[in-house]
Amino acid sequence: MSKDGFDGKLEDLKMWSFDGSSTEQAEGGSSDCLLKPVAVYPDVTRKNAYVVMCEVLNADGTPHETNGRATIAKDDDDYWFGFEQEYFLYDVDTKLPLGFPAGGYPGPQGPYYCGVGAKAAFGREIVEEHFDVCLEAGLNVEGINAEVAAGQWEFQIFAKGAHDAGDQIWIARYFLEKVAEKYGVYVEWHPKPLGKDADWNGSGMHANFSNGLMRTCGDKKVFDAICEEFGKHIQEHVSVYGAYNDQRLTGKHETASINDFSYGVSDRGSSIRIPVGTVEDGWKGRLEDRRPASNGDPYKIAAVIIDTTEKAVAKM
């Protein structure tokens, strides 16, 4: 959207419509879907524009079945989310992660995590440009780092409120795809793109979360109760934590098995990690659900986390 005649206020945007049959969201004989603007950001990849995040609605104004944002039942900014979005950068010609030689593999994992130098970091120019774009657009991107596998990277988004966190993740993903285009590179969001049995880390979108009670309680029992409640709803969470996540959650490569549930202090091999900082701060802080996949819908992930946490709180 051009900045000419528009000053970036969400309330000045009207409902739009589009051909849902072209996106496989409607049949051709009744193809109109609606776009409800929900967030606006400067589009710094253009000279004079904004990018608008929208919800998809049916023609009658009800949420479309693909509308993950509408699954968030409670959002009063009491819940804070920090998503750690991992991904691979792939060469569009070789169809291999950056840093992978044709017909083989680079050296084993070890030097790539937070690595620096041409032997360890592949695609940094893309990652740094994406970081700058996100900052200039007003996204609350907290950081970037090279990940465990060659050609694998991560950015982190923090927001107060599930809707805002989800909006920012989707917009940041959009900007990343757009920046990567310029370099003949595409973003691979699959949680285990090198195969289930490959001895390489997969990609997740670890969900760090807290509510007011967790940030102030100072009580280990509160955190234990929340974790125990999560263990009663494994399938509810896994079902919305991303496609092909069973290939990643194998119990190896810093994951717990998709079929089990565990939690522990500073344990990156558990389903939920209790950060050591939460303990050191007198049991005040956050939890990290390590199960969400890199291709997961942040809205649906936040929605089920809130729902299960609320169930735990209601029993206290």
Query: Residue 218: is its pLDDT beyond 90?
Result: yes
Contact assessment for residue 220 and residue 283, using Cβ atoms and an 8 Å cutoff: yes
Tokens of 193: 């793109």
DSSP state of 20: G
Residue 308: what pLDDT? 98
Domain 80-314 falls in which CATH fold?
Answer: Creatine Kinase; Chain A, domain 2 (3.30.590)
- What is the Cα 141 distance to its own chain's centre? 12
- What is the Cα 131 distance to its own chain's centre? 15
Hey, where are the domains in the chain?
10-66, 80-314
Distance separating alpha carbons of residues 124 and 110, to the nearest angstrom = 18
Distance separating alpha carbons of residues 58 and 113, to the nearest angstrom = 44
Distance separating alpha carbons of residues 139 and 170, to the nearest angstrom = 11
Average pLDDT over residues 152-165: 98
Using pLDDT thresholds of 50, 70 and 90, give the confidence band for residue 27. Answer: confident
Residue 1: what pLDDT? 58
Ramachandran assignment for 254, one of left (phi > 0), alpha (psi -120 to 50 degrees), beta (any other): left
**Please, what's the b/e burial string for 151-167 (b: 16 or more CB within 10 A of its CB; e: otherwise)?**
bbbbbbbbbebbbbbbb
Residue 3: what pLDDT? 59
pLDDT tens string 111-120: 999 999 999 9
- Whole-number mean pLDDT of the chain? 95
- CB burial of residue 205 (10 Å; 0-12, 13-18, 19+): buried
Share of the chain above pLDDT 70, in %: 98
Beta strand segments in the chain, E: 16-19, 32-42, 50-57, 80-91, 141-146, 152-160, 185-188, 205-210, 263-265, 272-274, 287-289
Residue 74: what pLDDT? 81
Architecture of domain 10-66: Roll (3.10)
pLDDT tens string 294-306: 999 999 999 999 9
DSSP state of 199: S
Ramachandran assignment for 226, one of left (phi > 0), alpha (psi -120 to 50 degrees), beta (any other): alpha
Using pLDDT thresholds of 50, 70 and 90, give the confidence band for residue 4. Answer: low
